[in-house]
Amino acid sequence: MVGVFFAYFALVSIVAAVLTVSLRHPVHCGLALLTLLLHVSGLFVLLNAEFIWAVQVIVYAGAILVLYLFVLMLLNLKTDERYFHSSYPYFIVPAALGSVYVLFLLLQSPFDGVKGDAPVTAILEGGDTYAVGIKMFSDHILQFEIVGIFLLGAIIGAIVLAKAPRTMGDVGGKR
Amino acid sequence: MVPLSAYVAVSAVLFMTGLLGVLIRRNFIIVLMSVEIMMNAANINLVAFSHYLESMSGQLVALFNIAIAAGEAAIGLAIIVVVFRGKISTNVDEMNLLKW
């Protein structure tokens, strides 16, 4: 049963990614990206990561994608006639060959490593959100603070960049 | 039970697709969307290894990765708005102001 869900989420993710890269109109690309993000969040549910699932739906599909669609609406783009790079066949063939080779290597390699201290039963006992919170506010508190400062800087930078510049006439005058 | 290599393979295909989008698309907004695809591929990898190796750190790094993706989208779209205001184009080939 998990395999069926995994196959569905994985196939739709890959198809949506290809559509995002290959569709002509930017709004269609944004909607394909939305499909991709929601199905990737489905993969997170299969991996017992409910908190990452919620963050993915809220932040990615809720905030970032709305930002993209808002900018698309603001710019009101004309569709370019030549919308691929002029030499794109030279990129596609090596990318396809590289993908096949990497898949061949990945599907036959036995991944293993040192097991950590959070087995599935321990996570299911208190819930994934509890486990993430305990880990974040004990071992990873410095990264948490750094991400907070980073987001503050990003907000200030975005506002400063995107603010409408004052024209020469009204410098110092009333607006 | 889905093996770990299946998740890694899905992640690799998504990453290759995003990389191809960054290389061949000419619209700056689509290039940023391709970067988001690549970040999602990295997140799948992190959460999958976190699940199969029974450690929480992967999920936390995925969480920080999502926060960084949000900041990157905000800054990138602000840069697009600034460039579009000056040149009326979002074509990456025509953004050559800093080219020497």
CATH number, residue A58: 1.20.120.1200
Is residue A12 in a domain? yes
- Its CATH class, for the domain covering B4-88, is mainly alpha
Is residue A112 in a domain? no
pTM, rounded to two decimals: 0.86
Q: How far apart (Å, rounded) are the C-alpha atoms in residues B63 and A144?
A: 10
A92·B43 Cβ contact <8 A:
no
| A contact residues 147-166, partner B, Cβ 8 Å cutoff | 147, 150-151, 153-155, 157-159, 161-162
Is residue A88 in a domain? no
A124 and A74 part of one domain: no
CB-closest option in B10, B34, B55 to A14? B10
Query: Does B80 lie at the interface with A, CB-CB under 8 angstroms?
Result: yes
What is the identity of the amino acid at B3?
Answer: P
Q: How far apart (Å, rounded) are the C-alpha atoms in residues A108 and A91?
A: 26
Number of residues that make up chain A: 175
Q: Which ipTM did the prediction report? A: 0.91
- Listed residue (B64, B93, B67, B79) closest to B32, CA to CA: B79
How is residue A157 written in tokens? 């930078």
Answer whether A26's CB lies under 8 Å from B22's CB: no
Amino acid A175: pLDDT: 47
Mind listing the pLDDT tens digit for each residue in A112-141? 777 877 777 877 788 888 988 988 999 899
Give me the domain span that covers residue A132.
119-163
Domain boundary among A54, A78, A102: A78
Answer whether A52's CB lies under 8 Å from B59's CB: yes
Domain boundary among A29, A55, A78: A78
Mind listing the pLDDT tens digit for each residue in B49-64? 999 888 888 899 999 9
| A contact residues 74-113, partner B, Cβ 8 Å cutoff | 74-75, 77, 80, 82-85, 88, 91-92, 95, 98-99, 102-103, 106-111, 113
Mind listing the pLDDT tens digit for each residue in A35-79? 999 999 999 999 989 999 999 999 998 999 999 998 888 887 766
How many domains does chain A fold into?
Answer: 2
Is residue A103 in a domain? no
Is residue A6 in a domain? yes
